[in-house]
Structure 1
Amino acid sequence: MSRVGYLGPKGTFTEMAAEEYRGTVAEYIPYCDIKVLVKAVVDEKIDRAVVPIENSLQGAVTLTLDLLLKYDLKIVDEVIIPITHSLLAADVVTDLDDLDHVVSHPQALAQCRAFIDEHLNCNVHTADSTADAIKRVAKAGPNWAAIGNYHAADYYDLSVLRNDIQDNEENWTRFVVLAKEDSPQTGDDKTSIICSPRDDHPGALYEILKEFAQREINLTRIESRPARKMIGDYIFFIDFEGHRSEENIQLALSNVEEIVAWIKLLGSYPQAEIQAD
């Protein structure tokens, strides 16, 4: 039975993702900061942490990538859910023209920009999370509204004024579950690594990728991040199909290790099933 932490407060999309986690959960614990959440696993205050890692519209969650680089934790599962935004306000609000303020997380505001511009004549404010925005609106006057998860309306006694206000219907977020231990092979797995080329020379990235290509290992994601050293120095986050214990993957990783400055195995874990809303 695991204690599972997630990016809170209650009512966030990360809470929804945590509830889709396939492990046996004894308790869900909200944290209001990703760094504190991840550190709680490192310090064994919780057993698992559910954190966002990428969005289909806005790309990688760079803070999560940086924390994966910093701490010795393993990805043991992943969850992919659709992101649908709603406009929430007090029960007494019935007309959009009654609103003077709208608040949400910057990503949610960006994903609903067309709706805001077309339908709301409001001052726009930012919050640490969509659920935090909803909590603020619950305590504010009736001229405030929040953009976020419609499931959160029940937590904070608010009404949903509009559903599905996001600009793009194909909006998905991938979450990963972090733990100290690794995950066993299931037969339908994915592996994640971080590596850094030994030096900057023509074909450096190709030399890494060919080790996977020539063994017909399917890469599902490549993300580059500055190494925070000299301009032009990068590290690469790579996801690919298969488990670290498979012979062809062991050989690929062994060969990659010989040609890079360093490599870190982030874990092998079951591939996510797409969760329809």
Structure 2
Amino acid sequence: MLKTLVADTNAIFYLMIVVGVIGVLGKIVNQITLRRMITAAGNMSKSTHKLMKLVRAKYEHACMIHDTVDNVEAFVEKYIYEYRGFLLRIHTWKQLEIQSIWFSGALAAFGGLSSYIVSGFSERMYQYIGAGAAEMIALFVISQLSDEGYKIKAAKNYMVDYLENVCAHRYKKAKQTERDNIDVISPEGAGTSRAAVQKDAVQKKAAPREEPELSINIEGEPRRVEKEERVRQSRGAALKEKLEDNEQPALKEEAIRQILEEFLA
């Protein structure tokens, strides 16, 4: 089976080609994804990039709940890590670039060793070794053409700068304006300001409290107790004087009648 795989077919060569294509594809995808990300991050306030819209929405939501975001860099890194440019994450494509170099070398070594076991030192063994070395060098050079880590850091710096220096201040200003609108009620609302309400409350507290007046309701009309007492005392004194001055029975009866009427009233 090993002889058939090595000598009669070119399966290992095909696998090496597939691995090389995957490495190059990972580099191309990362290049396109990171270029778009940097362009969108540079104009984050107007960008329609899905990552930028997601980060803006999540940041505003976090500020609404917690009033502020303490670690903006960690906040941005989380969404960059979870972002899928094309099917896979940026970090995954980067790993495919690196792993393709080692897989191509491993396949070349396996092919050369198998060819040596089957037919000794032969031309096919040197072909495996030469093709594997050339593919590894080519993939390594392609992977070094651009620095994905630097581009990710640049995009992150743009995003952090916008969130901390623009979005945060804008949110704080809007929130302060909202608080001011709540504190001061507009005249169209037919209300008074909080200062006027507090002034009225202070005046009510400072005003002397009036003692409740005890009254006796006679035929539905209130009467003060003190006034009634004074009237009774004055009438009683007048009647007493009359009794003392005039000892006639008729006057006594009249006085008694008036006293009874007064008390019955």
Question: Shorter-chain-normalised TM-score: which range?
Answer: under 0.3
- Which structure has more strand as a fraction of its residues? 1
TM-score by length of 2: 0.17
